[in-house]
Amino acid sequence: MGAAVATLAIDAWAWHGGARKLTAAGELWYRLDPNSLGLTQAVTQRYLFPWLWDPIAVWILLQPAAAVLGVLGFLIAWLARR
C-alpha cells in the first residue's frame, strides 16, 4: 500500500507540473525494469496461457499504477490476516 501512496504522490506532483495523466501500471513497470516486463509477457504467452496476457494482463497494465498497487496491497494485507 505504501507503493500505491508513493505512486499517487508522484502522479499528483506531475499533475501539478502540467502532466494531465496518471502513470499506468505497465509504464511504471517498464520504467523500473523493462527486461522483466518483456520476459513476463513472453513466458505468459508461450508457456502458460496466451489468453491470460491479452486481454487480462494488458487491461491491468493499462490501469493507473496507484490503483493496481493499492488493490495488490489490500489483497496481500487481507491474506496475511487470515
Cα(47)–Cα(55) distance, rounded to whole angstroms?
17
Give the pLDDT band (50/70/90) at residue 58. Answer: very high
- Is residue 52 pLDDT above 90, yes or no? yes
All three cell numbers of 73, joined, read 496491497
Per domain, the residue ranges of the chain are 2-81
- Mean pLDDT calculated for residue range 61-72: 94
- Is residue 25 pLDDT above 80, yes or no? yes
**DSSP secondary structure letters along the chain:** -HHHHHHHHHHHHHHHTT--SPPBHHHHHHHH-HHHHHHHHHHHHHHS-HHIIIIIIHHHHTSBHHHHHHHHHHHHHHHHH-
The whole-number pLDDT of residue 75 equals 95
- Mean pLDDT calculated for residue range 31-48: 95
Give the pLDDT band (50/70/90) at residue 18. Answer: confident
